[in-house]
Chains A and B, each alone.
Chain A
Amino acid sequence: MLRCENIEFNVDGQNLFSNINLNLKPQKDLLITGPSGVGKTTLLSILCGIQKPTTGKITYNSIDLYNLPENKIDEFRGKNLGVVFQNFNLINTFTVKQNLEIAVSAIDTKTSIPFFNLLDRVGLANKSHIKVANLSIGEKQRLAVARAFVGDPKWVFCDEATSSLDDKNAKIIANLIKDESLRCKASLVLITHDSRIKSLINFSNILKLGDEL
């Protein structure tokens, strides 16, 4: 269960958003929409433990995220959350496989991850030794999705995962995210201003920034 209580965020004394409350049950999904500049990416950062909110409380099951020491927040994110960033945040000097390996090493897992199966599912099996810098935008997006699911996370966050893609690729990525979430039995939180997404994924919850769930 992901619970947000009275989340508020101010930038330089200006209120970006306030009074965000939501409850997301296990294996349910949530679409957060809103126009550009409303604070969608900031909210995602807050939910992932990257940016502390000005006020409010975020709990994953019974764990109060921002009550954890900073190091534990990083570890919690690595072990429980999968994040697909808007600009991918891949390491461009690494190969496709190395990007997945470094993500696994952050989790400290002892179980071996079947990279080939994962890459096969995202259609990058034949590109595992290619450097990220040489991939197309669509391929980078698929790799970012693969990396988010590498440790079988319980909550997955995607920021504008389809916005920069054409219809065909947007459908591929949306299906991929949906399928991987089902496989991991993860709750999915998708942030976008891309209107196509509603026709690609049937969300159980929708939050328009400023509106309560």
Chain B
Amino acid sequence: MIVGITIITVSILVNQVTKETFSKNNPGLDAVVGAKGSPLQLILSSIHHIDIPTGNISYQNARKIIKHPAIKSAIPISLGDNFQNFRIVGTNKSFLKLYKANLISGTTWSQPMQAVIGYNVSKVTKLKINKFFVGSHGLIDTGDVHAEQPYKVVGVLKKTGTILDNLILTSLDSVWNLHSVTNKDKLEITSLLLKYKNKTSSFSFPRLINKGTNMQAASPSFEISKLLKLTGNAHRIVDYLSVLIIILSFLGILFTLLNNINERKYDLAVLRTLGFSRWKLFSIILSEGMIISILGSTIGLIFGYIVYESMYYFSIVGRSLELGQLNFLYDLFLIWIIVNIIAFITCLIPCIKVYKQNIRSTLLNS
């Protein structure tokens, strides 16, 4: 029972947190334009900062998109480096407005190689205002660092409960300087985060980009709903498996109790002769079964939460997940209640057997 409830708890928590995180991380973006490749990969890397980018696009081409009449706002981002696995994002200050970010201390960058760090970054790395750090090549810490050009922390952001808490923000110039790109014609960015002036552009604009350029435009809501549908199926399989394990545990409780009362039928008959009523013995056996069930299901929930917390703390992907709302409590409580109601019904079988026991024949046969 503990195993079954643990699996189902983890499944609920991961499902809930994934949905919540994906929804919170997207502050109303309509499209992301980036290099051709998997559209889901582009969304995951540019908005949720989980996957690696599909490549780079020319900043010159990006500027043409920014000026397109269908576009209300466009924020360029440039990825490529990290500090202790926290991604360094080259962007402009509109990125902060997009997430309605406020500073706890310091200010935003005013020149290259200045950085504003997210709330979780400052907590984990202990970076503070005026401290310096060097970025590592790539999006995962490999130890290959840009030692010659350190960043200076000029600002720390308040907690937002979004992916912003796990990012280090700097100007696009910082990223270009660090990678020694001086020719303005060769400047590149990873992607553009777009909002349309009119929602009707969500059909025409991606077609324009996908067919007319060497870039792609991907819709965050479309790609994420596709992903959730896929992961939803996987969650369902895991849920079926855990239900099977829970059913087996019910059978375990049933046969344990039946075996137990079979071994103790003489003792139970003796208790009746001493004055224990049928109902008293019925309630004793029921209590034994329910104690096993309540303890098992509660320990399962606790283990499930511990497994989820471990995933959160020990995985890089977990850092991008944030458990905000407590909606999951209702689901877990419901499962706990259902499991214990079924356990109660299961326990009634041995209890009825005890209730119907004929004490004289049991004592004579023993």
Residues in A lying within 8 Å of B, measured CB to CB: 45, 48, 50-51, 70-72, 74-75, 77-79, 83, 85, 87, 89-91, 93, 102-103, 106-107, 147
Check B359 against A106 for contact (C-beta < 8 Å).
no
Check A71 against B363 for contact (C-beta < 8 Å).
no
Q: List chain A residues, Cβ under 8 A from B230.
A: none
Q: List chain B residues, Cβ under 8 A from A102.
A: 271, 274
Check B273 against A77 for contact (C-beta < 8 Å).
yes
> Top 9 closest A-B pairs, CB basis?
A78-B275, A106-B275, A71-B277, A106-B274, A74-B277, A89-B270, A51-B360, A103-B274, A106-B276
Q: Which of A71, A85, A102, A106 has the most CB of B within 10 A?
A: A106
Q: List chain B residues, Cβ under 8 A from A103.
A: 274-275
Bound-state Cα–Cα, A74 to B355, Å:
12
Say yes or no for B279: interface residue by CB 8 A criterion: yes
Check B271 against A45 for contact (C-beta < 8 Å).
no
**Residue ID in chain B nearest A108 by CB atoms:** B275
Interchain Cβ contacts within 8 Å, total number:
49
Say yes or no for B278: interface residue by CB 8 A criterion: yes
Residues in B lying within 8 Å of A, measured CB to CB: 267, 269-280, 359-360, 363
Check B363 against A89 for contact (C-beta < 8 Å).
yes
Check A75 against B277 for contact (C-beta < 8 Å).
yes
Q: List chain A residues, Cβ under 8 A from B267.
A: 91, 93
Bound-state Cα–Cα, A147 to B360, Å:
19
Bound-state Cα–Cα, A85 to B363, Å:
10
A147 shortest CB reach to chain B, Å: 8
Check B276 against A50 for contact (C-beta < 8 Å).
no
Q: List chain A residues, Cβ under 8 A from B270.
A: 89-91
A154 shortest CB reach to chain B, Å: 14
**Residue ID in chain B nearest A147 by CB atoms:** B274
Bound-state Cα–Cα, A85 to B280, Å:
22
Bound-state Cα–Cα, A72 to B276, Å:
10
What are 12 pairs between A and B in contact, CB < 8 Å? A45-B360, A48-B273, A50-B273, A50-B359, A74-B272, A75-B277, A77-B273, A78-B274, A79-B275, A89-B363, A103-B274, A106-B276
Besides A50-B359, A71-B277, 14 new A-B residue pairs in contact (Cβ under 8 A), listed by A number: A45-B360, A50-B360, A71-B278, A72-B277, A74-B272, A75-B275, A77-B274, A78-B275, A83-B273, A87-B363, A89-B269, A89-B270, A90-B270, A106-B271
Bound-state Cα–Cα, A163 to B322, Å:
78
B42 shortest CB reach to chain A, Å: 69
Bound-state Cα–Cα, A106 to B276, Å:
5
Check A85 against B273 for contact (C-beta < 8 Å).
yes
**Residue ID in chain B nearest A103 by CB atoms:** B274
Q: List chain A residues, Cβ under 8 A from B275.
A: 74-75, 77-79, 103, 106-107
Q: List chain B residues, Cβ under 8 A from A75.
A: 275, 277
Bound-state Cα–Cα, A108 to B190, Å:
79
Q: List chain A residues, Cβ under 8 A from B276.
A: 74, 78, 106
A34 shortest CB reach to chain B, Å: 18
B260 shortest CB reach to chain A, Å: 13
Q: Which of B272, B275, B276, B359 has the most CB of A within 10 A?
A: B275
**Residue ID in chain B nearest A73 by CB atoms:** B277
B216 shortest CB reach to chain A, Å: 75
Bound-state Cα–Cα, A89 to B272, Å:
11
Bound-state Cα–Cα, A71 to B267, Å:
18
Check B278 against A74 for contact (C-beta < 8 Å).
yes
Bound-state Cα–Cα, A120 to B275, Å:
24
Q: List chain A residues, Cβ under 8 A from B271.
A: 102, 106
B56 shortest CB reach to chain A, Å: 77
Q: Which of B271, B274, B280 has the most CB of A within 10 A?
A: B274
Bound-state Cα–Cα, A106 to B271, Å:
8
Q: List chain B residues, Cβ under 8 A from A74.
A: 272, 275-278, 280
